[in-house]
Chain A
Amino acid sequence: MSGTAPVAPAPPRTALGRLGWAVADGWTITRRDLSHWARRPAPVVVGLLFPVMTVLMFAYLLGGGITVPGGGDYREFLVPGMFAMTMVFGVETTFAAVAGDAAKGVTDRFRSLPMAASAVVTGRSAADMLASVLGLAVMVACGLAIGWRWHNGPAAALAAVGLLLLLRFALLWVGIYLGLVARGPEAVAAVQILVWPLGFVSNTFASPAAMPGWLGVIAEANPLSATVAAVRELFGNPGWDGASWAAQHAMTLAVVWPLALVAVFLPLAVRRHRDLGR
C-alpha cells in the first residue's frame, strides 16, 4: 500500500512559505464551516431569522408603549440596537463550534496534523465574520423594510457598519477563548444564558438612567451600549442623551472597548490553544 500513498510536502522553511501554508490551511477550515451552512442550512436560517422576528415583535407588538427620547420614531430607535444585538448573539455560534470540536476530539486531530497551528483559529474567525456580514445584511434589509433609514450619508453609515463588525470581531475572541476553556455541556448552557444579560443590560431597549443605580452603571459601561450609542449617532437615529462620561464619549468607547477586548482575549485564546498540550 505504501506504493500508492501520497507524499506530503515538507514544512516550508521561509517565512513567506509558512504564511502561505497558514493562509491555505485557514481557508480549508473556513470552507469547512461554509460547507456546514450548505449541508445543514436550518440553524443558519434560524440564526438569521431570529433577530428579524425580534425586530418585528418589538416594532409591531411592544413598540407602541415605548416613548422614544426626543419624540423620534420608535423603529428608527430600535433597529440600530438590534444590529448590535445580532453581533452579540453571534458569540454563541463561535463558542458552540469551538467547544464542540474540542469535546469531539476534532481539535486534537487538527493538532496532530502537520498544518499551520493558527489555521484552526483564523479559519474559524473568517467563517464567523462572513456569517456576521451576511446576518447584518439581512438585518439592514429588514430595517429598511420597516421604515428605518440612515440620515447622515453613506460614509457615516459605512463607519457604523464598521463599528458593528468591530464589536463582533472582539466578541469572536471572547467566544474562542471560552470555547477552549469550557468543559462539558453545562458550560455551554451557562455561556448561552449569560449572553442575555449582556444584551439586555444595555441602552438597547431602555435608558440606563431609568435603571436601578448599579444596573444603570453596568448598562452604561457595557461595551454593547457604547457601540449602540455610536451607531445611532452615525446613522442619525434617535438615542438616549446620557449625562455620564460613558454616554458622552460613546464614539471613542465604541472603538476602544472592542480593541481592549481583542487585546485581552486574543492572547488568552492563543495561549489557551497552545496550552492544550500542557
Chain B
Amino acid sequence: MGGTGHAVLAEGLRKRFGATEALAGFDLAVPEGTVCGLLGPNGAGKTTAVRVLTTLLRPDGGRAEVAGFDVVRQAARARHRIGLVGQHAALDEVLSGRQNLEMFGRLYHLGAAGARSRAGELLERFGLTGAAGRPVRLYSGGMRRRLDLAAGLILSPPVLFLDEPTTGLDPRGRTDVWEAVGSLVSGGTTVLLTTQYLEEADRLAGRICVVDAGRVIAEGSPSELKASIGADRVTVVVRREADLPAAAAIVARVAARGASPVAVDRDTRRISAPVTDPVAALTEVARALRDAGVQAEDIALRRPTLDEVFLRLTGREQAPGREPGGRDAARGAVA
C-alpha cells in the first residue's frame, strides 16, 4: 500500500465548526502494522480527526491518505481498506447480533452466504455465539463494544480506527476490548485508537500522539514522552536539617553532568535533581553520602508519569482521566 510505508498520513488537516477550530493543522504519520494512540482531553479534536480519516468528514484544508488512498479524492477505495469503530456503538438495537453482522456483510457485498459465514466466524471469535440471536438492546456495554468491533472487522481491514473503544465500559468489558485489540495487532493490522485514558494509551499503543486544541503537540513512545519532560530524578531526604548543605553539594556534583539545577526543600529536608544515568547516579549519591557521614532517611529514583507528561504538555491542571470507565456524559448528536 502506497510508497510511503505509512498506513495513515495526515498533513496540515484543518476543520472548523462555526467558531470552533476542531482541527488546526493536524499532522500524523502511522507506520504500517503499528498501533498509534491519539491521546487528548475531551474536545481536543480526536473524533474529528478520525471522521476525516475515515472519509466521513471533508476537511477544510490539508490532506490525508489512508492505506495509500486520498480520503477525499479516493474515498470509495479508502473505504475498502478501513474499519471504523466509532465513539458510540453504531448498531441496530432491534436486530440480533447475528443480523447486524449479516447486514453489514451484505453491504460489503459479500453475498448472502458469504455474509452469513463471516458473521458466524466473528461471533465465535468475539465470544458472542451464545448471544447471537438476542436483540442488541439486551446486550451489556462490553458485548456491544465487541459486536461493534466485530462489525468493524468484517473485511479484516488493514487499517482499523477505534474511537474511544473503552469509554463507559466496566473493567471486565475494557479488558475484553483490550485483548481483542491486542490479538488484531499481532495479526498485522494497523490501529489508530483515540483515548482519554493514559493507562489505555500506555497499554495498547507503541506510539502516542498527544492531541490538544486540534493539533498533535507531542509524539513518541510512552517512555520517550516521559523522558521528554525531563529525566528521572534522584531524590534524597536527609535525617538532620544541618546536613542539607553537604547533601545538596553531593547531589549537585553527581547531577552536574546533567547540568541541571538542584531543588532543595527545607521543610521536608528533601533534595532532588534530574540525572542522565539514573542507576549510576543513585549508587554514587548513596556512596558519597555515606563517605561524608550524612544520614539519609530515603534515597530514591523517580520517573515522571504519563500524567505529568500530559499536564506539562497541555498546560492543564487536571489530567483528562487516570482511570478508564465512569465518564460518558458527552454523549450526544454532535459528539
Contacts and interface: CB of A to CB of B under 8 A. Distances in A.
A and B found bound together: yes
Contacts, number: 108
Contacts of B187: 1-2
Could you say which of B82, B90, B99 has the most chain A C-beta atoms within 10 Å of its C-beta?
B90
A267 interface: no
B109 A109 contact: no
B155 A105 contact: no
Contacts of A1: 156, 184, 187
Contacts of B56: 108, 111-112, 276-277
Interface in A14-41: 21, 24-25, 28, 31-32, 35-36, 39-40
Contacts of A153: none
Could you say which of A6, A40, A102 has the most chain B C-beta atoms within 10 Å of its C-beta?
A6
A201 B93 CA distance: 36
A110 interface: yes
B7 interface: no
A109 B106 contact: no
A35 B136 CA distance: 13
Interface residues of A, number: 39
Contacts of B93: 104
Nearest to A20: B109
Contacts of B135: 39-40
B109 A21 contact: yes
A194 interface: no
Given A102-B333, A103-B333, A40 B94 contact: yes
Could you say which of A24, A104, A113 has the most chain B C-beta atoms within 10 Å of its C-beta?
A113
B79 interface: yes
Nearest to B107: A115
B284 interface: no
A111 B105 CA distance: 14
B86 A105 contact: yes
A112 B86 CA distance: 10
B103 A112 contact: no
A9 interface: yes
18 contacts: A5-B156, A8-B108, A11-B77, A24-B106, A24-B109, A35-B94, A40-B135, A104-B89, A105-B86, A106-B91, A106-B92, A108-B51, A108-B84, A109-B90, A111-B55, A112-B82, A114-B109, A278-B57
Interface of B: 51, 54-58, 76-77, 79-80, 82, 84, 86-96, 99, 103-110, 114, 118, 121, 135, 151, 154-156, 184, 187-188, 332-334
